[in-house]
Amino acid sequence: MNGTPNPALQRGALDHRAMPRALKLFTLFAAGAFLLGAIGYLALHAVMPDGHVFGGLYRMFSYHELHPFQYIGVVALTYGAIATPCALRWSRLAGWRRSAAIIGIIVMTVLVASVPGEVLWKIHDMQAGYFTAGARFWSDLLWGASTGLQIGWLVIAFSLPYNIIGLVLDYVVTHFGFNISAPVA
């Protein structure tokens, strides 16, 4: 090294110092979302009629009520995976642009998390005795993924007031993440 800057770093490529920052930010987003989601679930479970916090479709087995923390974890990990690169890339946004980016992150999280969430639902369905064997196993999981994209967001929309509280908290956490990820001048 002769003191000249590395051209790859000048073009905005991640260096070895950026990875710990991204990992810390991912941990903040994913762990924060999981903790807030779990606390919100436990609080609402204590006061909701029959303890039902999540919505569901007619004649749908409520595996998300039986295994709530697994589904909260799927959403939290998805949120962390989406929010981290967005916060690193767009941390300098301000005003309505930042609000639009945060709302976009939340919407993308709902849509993307619906896919692995429905695959998890399908796995819980198999554990309940509706197991398919052979090649049909993989087609059932793929069916679960496509169904999640079609109706997963609807299950989240029916989960009142949990979803409203979650949207507000996601906005606050994402805004905080944008603030702490902004490069120091």
pLDDT (tens digit, 9 = 90+) per residue, 131-180? Answer: 676 667 777 777 777 777 777 777 778 778 888 898 999 999 999 999 98
pLDDT (tens digit, 9 = 90+) per residue, 154-166? Answer: 777 877 888 889 8
Inside any domain, residue 106: yes
pLDDT (tens digit, 9 = 90+) per residue, 68-107? Answer: 899 899 999 999 999 999 999 998 888 999 999 999 999 9
Inside any domain, residue 54: yes
Q: Considering its fold, how many domains does the chain have in total? A: 1
Inside any domain, residue 69: yes
Inside any domain, residue 8: no
Give the number of other Cβ atoms within 10 Å of residue 13's Cβ: 10
For residues 108 and 86, give the distance between their C-alpha atoms in angstroms, rounded to a whole number. 11
Inside any domain, residue 72: yes
In terms of Cα–Cα distance, which of 110, 117, 113, 118 is closest to 140?
A: 118
Tell me what pLDDT residue 75 has: 92
Inside any domain, residue 46: yes
For residues 103 and 147, give the distance between their C-alpha atoms in angstroms, rounded to a whole number. 24
Look up tokens 């924060």; give the residue. Answer: 32
Inside any domain, residue 138: no
Which residue segment(s) compose the domain that 45 sits in? 16-112+161-181
